[in-house]
Structure 1
Amino acid sequence: MEKCFKSIQWGLLLGITLAMGACGLPEAFNQFSQEADNQFGDQHFKTAITLIELHKVRYGDYPQSLADLKYTGDWDKLATQSVSYQKVDDGYILNLERGWVGKADLEYPPDFWQNLGIVESNVKGLPSPEQTLKS
């Protein structure tokens, strides 16, 4: 009897899985996941920028590493763990490594980057130095 019940359970699970696939739920989840990645990535990227730029205002220079940031909150750790940061001579490189569970696909307009110390990023829209000089 127990063996029969297990077979019915597996059959139901297989049937539900096939029905979900036929209804397009994987595509819906992928779309939801990408939107969530973009929303979380956007928030994490902007939070990291804010913390880095605030450090410069307070101490006169960009931090050597994200570990040097002071007075951060618990939620800020999510942001700093979602980016990679490197201080360079003329500013910093900031790359977004993840959004919610995967990669975010973000692009900001040129004025977003205005007066920030970011010289390189994997986030799209950062004007080249030549474009910045022309502005």
Structure 2
Amino acid sequence: MPIRKILITMIIGMLLVACDGFNQPIIETQFGDQHFKTSIALIELHKVRTGDYPAELSDLQYIGDWDTIALSSVEYKKLIEGYELNVIRGWVGTPELSYDPNFWQGLGLKQSNVQTSNIQKGPSQ
């Protein structure tokens, strides 16, 4: 019986995705926002604990199972000062995110594909 419930849930989920009333841009934004913020939190926590930003995301320690989903949805590059973080996936596509300039205060995030007037755009340095 549990397998039957799982199959029914999956079918309902697939029908919702195919439904015209399903608002994919909102879902993309919600997932992208969560992935981006979770990744920033993990990267900044690593800096607090070790004194430096990770060379790669695989250097992060003590991450949860759900964190791996967020980390697989971003591209990370350590820069000479700080880091670059780009959102590459929300739920199934690439979301368009935008944050208030205050969001960026105190972060080592220097470049991103996320919209804001407070960080540099363009190729990595």
Q: TM-score over 0.5 for the alignment? A: yes
CA RMSD of aligned residues (A): 1.2
Aligned residues: 102
Corresponding residue number in structure 2 for 1:133: none
Corresponding residue number in structure 1 for 2:60: 69
CA contact (8 A) 2:84 2:112 kept: yes
SS at match of 2:77: strand
Query: Any stretches of 5+ residues in structure 2 without a counterpart?
Result: 1-18, 121-125
Give the Cα separation in 2 of the matches to 1:76 and 1:126: 28
Larger helix percent:
1
Superposition deviation, residue 124 in structure 1: 0.4
Identity %: 55
Moved over 3 A (4+): none
Q: TM-score normalised to the size of structure 1?
A: 0.72
Corresponding residue number in structure 2 for 1:52: 43
Whether 1:118 and 2:113 are equivalent positions in the alignment is no
Corresponding residue number in structure 2 for 1:108: 99
SS at match of 1:99: coil
Q: Which has the larger radius of gyration?
A: 1
Superposition deviation, residue 103 in structure 1: 1.1
Q: TM-score normalised to the size of structure 2?
A: 0.78
AA matched with 2:53: Y
Corresponding residue number in structure 2 for 1:37: 28
Superposition deviation, residue 84 in structure 1: 0.1
